Amino acid sequence: MHNGTTITQFIIEEQRRVAGATGDFTSLLNDIVTACKVISNMVNHGALVGVLGSAESENVQGETQKKLDVLSNEVFLQSNEWAGHLAAMASEEMDDIYPIPARYPRGKYLLTFDPLDGSSNIDVNVSVGTIFSILRRDDAATDPSERDFLQPGTRQVAAGYALYGPSTMMVLTTGNGVNGFTLDQNIGEFILTHPNMTIPTDTREFAINASNMRFWEAPVKRYVQECLDGKEGPRGEDFNMRWIASMVAEVHRILTRGGIFMYPMDSKMQAKGQGGKLRLLYEANPMSFIVEQAGGASITGTERIMDLQPESLHQRVPVILGSKNEVERVQGYHQAG
């Protein structure tokens, strides 16, 4: 039996401290929580409910969509379009923004999301997640447009992720630290289990897709080589490596025990004119907000990610995040040339 703080209670109590809060934001977060519970239920049932496998379609980024990518996107739209808190939504799985249909009232917030992160893990029953970010829209008079979404990460009102792992968790920041909640399947509520999550400043664990090594930029090659050299190398210590191929799961590990995660710029992406692998508005920015709020750092290599001025909805950026001292070391290697 749980007698803990539910996520709803936590959000309401947190909003009470904000002068002039109308309850709109609390209600929006509740709808997002509901959407994540529905996705969690689908992911848990997997093959039993026929949700695994390919949807035989492509998204705007030319990636083959999985059935769960498409279904999770629909769940998010349905759960969040009706209540009147949002003006528009944007997602990895939709080419353009989704203005709230005229049959519903429109509100002052914007929602971006990656409905299913780590899609390549779905069919093999490895952890996946959902990432979201909430922005405010200042101009309520005109129809929402893509331009409304092009705000730097520093202007996020809230960000979070749901992790569908051995247990389902929700990790959330509203700019006042990071808190983690675990879904109690029996009562259908997220309960506060990880208050005030913080990332250890130092780490001996790194995460990177090493199959891209020959394409990496020089500072990243140098950093990883020094980790691999271990005790005998310039760092004088052995390092451990992990790669789950699901950013949500990697960030969650880093929030739990520290670490550094890198999806850096590489020559293969450069040749294709791509700015990186991960998307700024619904992957890099929300994760950077969470990581910074937990005491970590998040950069492209040279710049703080949350300071970037977005140029387009599906813009990609290099991401290096996690334990502060290691991220700063990689930044130093970039500055050294």
Binding-site ranges for ligand AHG (CB under 6 A): 63, 92, 114, 117-120, 209, 245-247, 263, 277
d(C-alpha 59, C-alpha 114), whole Å: 12
Pick one of ligand AHG, Mn ion, none as the site partner of residue 120 (Cβ within 5 to 8 A by kind). Answer: ligand AHG
Q: Minimal distance in Å, beta carbon 63 to ligand AHG?
A: 6
Q: Minimal distance in Å, beta carbon 24 to ligand AHG?
A: 28
158 vs 248, which CB is nearer to Mn ion? 248
Q: Minimal distance in Å, beta carbon 192 to ligand AHG?
A: 26
107 vs 129, which CB is nearer to ligand AHG? 129
User: What is the arrangement of strands in the sheet containing 297-299, beginning at the earlier edge strand?
Assistant: 240-241, 205-207, 260-263, 319-322, 297-299
Q: Minimal distance in Å, beta carbon 1 to ligand AHG?
A: 35
Q: Minimal distance in Å, beta carbon 283 to ligand AHG?
A: 7
- Residue ranges in the chain assigned as alpha helix (H): 7-16, 24-45, 67-80, 146-149, 218-229, 247-257, 267-271, 285-293, 324-335
120 vs 198, which CB is nearer to ligand AHG? 120
Can residue 114 be called a binding residue for Mn ion (CB under 5 A)? yes
Binders of Mn ion among residues 65 to 84 (CB under 5 A) are none
Interstrand relation of 205-207 and 240-241 (parallel, antiparallel or unpaired): parallel
Q: Candidates 39-47, 109-117, 154-162, 173-181: pick the segment binding Mn ion (CB under 5 A).
A: 109-117
Q: Minimal distance in Å, beta carbon 142 to Mn ion?
A: 30
Q: Encode 211-222: b = buried (16+ Cβ within 10 Å), e = exposed.
A: ebeebbbebbeb
Among 14, 117, 205, 250, binds Mn ion (CB under 5 A): 117
Q: Are 130 and 120 in contact (CB under 8 A)?
A: no
Q: Are 100 and 86 in contact (CB under 8 A)?
A: yes
Q: Are 334 and 219 in contact (CB under 8 A)?
A: yes
12 vs 94, which CB is nearer to Mn ion? 94
What is the DSSP secondary structure assignment for residue 210, as one 8-state letter?
G
- Binding-residue total with Mn ion (CB under 5 A): 4
CA dihedral 204, 206, 210, 212 (to 10 degrees): -130
322: alpha, beta or left? (left if phi > 0; alpha if psi -120 to 50): left
Q: Candidates 85-93, 95-103, 122-130, 134-142: pick the segment binding Mn ion (CB under 5 A).
A: 85-93
Among 14, 31, 81, 92, binds Mn ion (CB under 5 A): 92
Q: Minimal distance in Å, beta carbon 45 to ligand AHG?
A: 20
Pick one of ligand AHG, Mn ion, none as the site partner of residue 245 (Cβ within 5 to 8 A by kind). Answer: ligand AHG
- The end-to-end CA distance of the chain, in Å, is 56
246 vs 288, which CB is nearer to ligand AHG? 246
86 vs 287, which CB is nearer to ligand AHG? 287
Shortest Cβ contact with ligand AHG: which residue? 247
d(C-alpha 111, C-alpha 279), whole Å: 15
122 vs 158, which CB is nearer to Mn ion? 122
Q: Minimal distance in Å, beta carbon 116 to Mn ion?
A: 5
Q: Taking the CA of residue 48 as centre, how many other CA atoms within 13 Å lie in the half-sphere pointing to its CB?
A: 6
| Helix %, strand %, coil % of the chain (to 5) | 40, 25, 35
Q: What angle do CA 189, 190, 192 make, to 5 degrees?
A: 135
Residues binding Mn ion (CB under 5 A): 92, 114, 116-117
